[in-house]
């Protein structure tokens, strides 16, 4: 299976939440099916962070909050040399953190 970031779609009301909760934030339903966090959206905010966590060797990371067209939102890496608020981006999946030998996959947003 290809790497994917999953939200949780409530089987009662159909709302997708990301990250997942134990109950649906909309209707308090307790049953979910996985819903991929994917597609296009717009940059809600972004930052270049130089105060990095461990596991990174770059000088800074460019991070963004993106609102996807289906209304779900997510934080991810922003791979864009010219970011701006409201800019259209696409969600892709790639390596976002490498603790030791491990590779963690997550969202990497690129311009549409």
> Binding to other proteins by residue 74, rule CB under 8 A?
yes
> Binding to other proteins by residue 42, rule CB under 8 A?
no
* Residue 38: Cβ within 10 Å count: 18
> Binding to other proteins by residue 85, rule CB under 8 A?
yes
Q: Which is nearer to other proteins, 17 or 111 (CB)?
A: 17
Q: Is 76 left (phi over 0), alpha (psi -120 to 50) or beta?
A: beta
- Nearest distance from residue 11's CB to other proteins, in Å? 20
> Binding to other proteins by residue 48, rule CB under 8 A?
yes
Contacts of 107 (CB under 8 A, 6+ apart): 5, 37, 66, 74, 75, 76, 77, 91, 92, 93, 96
Q: Which is nearer to other proteins, 2 or 84 (CB)?
A: 84
């Amino acid at each position: 299976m290809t790497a994917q970031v999953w939200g949780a779609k409530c089987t009662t009301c159909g709302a997708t939440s990301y990250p997942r909760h134990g109950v649906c934030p909309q209707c308090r339903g307790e049953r979910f099916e996985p819903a991929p966090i994917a597609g296009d959206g717009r940059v809600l905010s972004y930052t270049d962070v130089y105060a990095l966590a461990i596991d990174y060797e770059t000088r800074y990371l460019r991070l963004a909050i993106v609102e996807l067209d289906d209304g779900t939102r997510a934080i991810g890496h922003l791979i864009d040399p010219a970011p701006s608020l409201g800019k259209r981006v696409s969600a892709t999946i790639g390596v976002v953190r490498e603790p030791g030998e491990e590779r963690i996959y997550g969202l990497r947003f690129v311009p549409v």
